[in-house]
């Protein structure tokens, strides 16, 4: 497994494949065929800077 930390680490071909896969996933979800790719997995998002559009 390869971790994606920077888009600059990808080749143009890898970016193209990633975007095509995202479009297929979006279309499948739109027509009621969601993938269960993340079932049983943990996903985290880390933001380095605070949001300028939300308040606590």
**Which tens digits make up the pLDDT trace of 42-51?**
888 888 888 7
Contact 13, 21 (CB under 8 A): no
Where along the chain do its domains lie? 1-56
Does residue 1 register a pLDDT over 90?
Answer: no
4 contact partners, CB below 8 Å, separation of at least 6: 10
Q: Nearest 5°: CA angle at 9, between 8 and 14?
A: 100
pLDDT score recorded for residue 49 = 83
pLDDT score recorded for residue 23 = 95
Q: What is the model's pTM?
A: 0.57
pLDDT score recorded for residue 56 = 64
Q: How far apart (Å, rounded) are the C-alpha atoms in residues 19 and 52?
A: 28
pLDDT, tens only, 5-31: 888 889 999 999 999 999 998 999 899
């Amino acid at each position: 497994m390869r971790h994606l930390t920077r888009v600059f680490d990808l080749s143009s071909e890898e970016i193209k494949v990633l975007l095509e896969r995202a479009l297929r996933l979006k279309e499948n979800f739109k027509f009621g065929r969601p993938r269960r790719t993340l079932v049983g997995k943990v996903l985290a998002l880390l933001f380095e800077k605070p949001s300028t559009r939300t308040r606590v």
